[in-house]
Amino acid sequence: MAARSFLRFAALAATLLAGASCVYPFDVEIPETEYPVVVEGDIHIGGTTTLTVSRVFPINNSSATDGPAYYSPYSSSSGYMPGVLINLKDCYIEGEDGTRIPGTGLHGGLDPYLYSPNGVGSVLGGPVYFDTSRLRADQRYRMHIDISEDILETDWIEVCKAPVIDALSYQKNENYQELRIGLSMHCSGSSFFRWSFSETWEYHSYVNSDLCYNPQSMMMEKYWANGQPSNYYCWKEVSGGQIKLFSTENQTDDRFEDLAFHRIALDDMRLQVLYRITVQLEAMSREAYAYWNNIRQNSEEQGSLFAPIPSQMTGNIHCLTTPNRGVIGYINAAQPAEAVLYYDNSKEQFYDPTRYRPNLNPQKVSAGDIRQFDDLYRSGFLPYQEIYEGLSSYPTHYMWGTADCIDCRKLGGTKNKPKDWPSGHN
């Protein structure tokens, strides 16, 4: 979920707040034995539960190289980042009725890519998956995590009521030249909510060409001759990177109508061809909401001067073997609701391409100048057009242009079209 990256960021808040201070900067000393464990995941009734476990280490600490590095999108000039994955010896979800759901690797069982070969089935930090599709919502659950040196366990957690997504909708805003996406939902018995979303879109490059250059043979080829689609259409997928929280506590009903939670500029390439947003909504306990709201304030707004930093907040995960061991994280139990919305520009025509002015930088090259082909290719150019002069039945020249105008992959996408994608492009 989107909130995950912020939980990884939470462990940095103490040093970030110190480093960002414009009054009295100070250094935070954390004993090496007290670097907190970071637990990320929620129990999802009726679906799959995902868990990762890591530990915060100072960047320049040599012990951080004992395991594989965990690359966070955040870093701190003050010298700390979350950090290094740690060994999990056992992990399971337990129900009050005695149900026990073990955690497994990506492919189930002892995944050779996740589990160490020492026979104990330890996984390097995760992710660990739990099949929670058949768990009941009318009882409490807890998470048990056995790491190499300690045993962690959550409190008993009640499952929050399942919300209902009534609608996802979009609307063009002429004044701000943007597409606004709204959420309508209701829930009986829960007043605190969190949502995340992922976006997938299809786009195309500035120039559509079936030409390709083979640097091994230094010859021109056609994509269709090799049975391959051109690099005109691409697909890209990203997940939202913010903690999305809202509450209906001060309303008469636990519902929202057309809550505008996402905006896309009309000249954004996400709207060029076909765009999809998938929203996942879950209810939260009051305690989980308070915990995550403080995380959000510290990470997005730097909180208030007297707000608790993440390492001072009390979650619902405790170390049984070493009670004073710091643990960052809060496990919530919920029944997520999911909804999908498509925007098709061929029908709406909201996309504004006028601000997209790529520099094609066209170069006309003789068909016999093989050396120039190679020089242009190495300089970031690609061929896009054949030119026939006179009565020649073969190309006499080729037009070359900057690669990011011709190869859609240069704009960050891939040719990996989602299996359920509704368009006929390849």
Higher-scoring residue by pLDDT: 63, 76: 63
Residue 1 has pLDDT above 80, yes or no: no
Whether residues 224 and 77 fall in one domain: no
Do 227 and 95 lie in one domain? The reply is no
Assess if residue 20 is contained within a domain.
yes
414 occurs within a structural domain = yes
Is 246 within a domain?
A: no
Residues 14 and 131 in one domain: yes
Confidence (pTM) = 0.79
Q: What angle do CA 58, 61, 66 make, to 5 degrees?
A: 110
Task: Report yes or no: 272 and 353 within 8 Å, Cβ to Cβ.
Answer: yes
How, if at all, do strands 43-44 and 333-334 pair? Answer: parallel
Same domain, 157 and 47: yes
- Residues in CB range of 96: below 8 A, 6 or more apart: 139, 140, 141, 156
Q: Which residues have a Cβ under 8 Å from the Cβ of 375 and sit 6 or more positions away?
A: none
At 37, the pLDDT band (50, 70, 90 cuts) reads: confident
* Residue 37 vs residues 33, 125, 193, 296: alpha-carbon distances, Å: 11, 11, 25, 19
Instruction: Decide which of 341 and 118 is more confident.
Output: 341
Number of H helices, E strands in the chain: 5, 26
In a shared domain, residues 9 and 116: yes
Q: Residue 221: inside a domain, yes or no?
A: yes
Q: Which domain holds residue 379?
A: 207-232+358-426
- Closest to 315 measured CA to CA, from 101, 11, 2: 11
Backbone angles phi and psi of 163, in degrees to 5: -75, 165
Place of tokens 């998470």: 143
| 82 shares a domain with 23 | yes
pLDDT at 294: 86
Q: Which two tokens stand for residue 371?
A: 């050396």
Give the N- to C-terminal CA distance of the chain in Å, as an integer: 29
- 220 and 77 co-located in one domain: no
Q: Quick one: average pLDDT of 364-390?
A: 96
Give the confidence band of 193 by pLDDT, cuts at 50, 70, 90.
very high
Give tens-digit pLDDT for 303-324: 444 455 555 668 999 999 988 8
Q: Give the number of domains in the chain.
A: 2
Residue 380 in domain: yes
Q: Is residue 270 part of a domain?
A: no
Total count of residues recorded for the chain:
426
Residue 306 CA to residue 158 CA, distance in Å, equals 31
Given 335, 367, 399, the domain boundary residue is 335
Query: Does residue 25 sit in the same domain as residue 153?
Result: yes
Burial class, 394, CB count within 10 angstroms (exposed 0-12 / middle 13-18 / buried 19+): exposed
Whether 56 and 115 share a structural domain = yes
- In order of 157, 223, 229, the CA distances from 382 in angstroms are 57, 13, 16
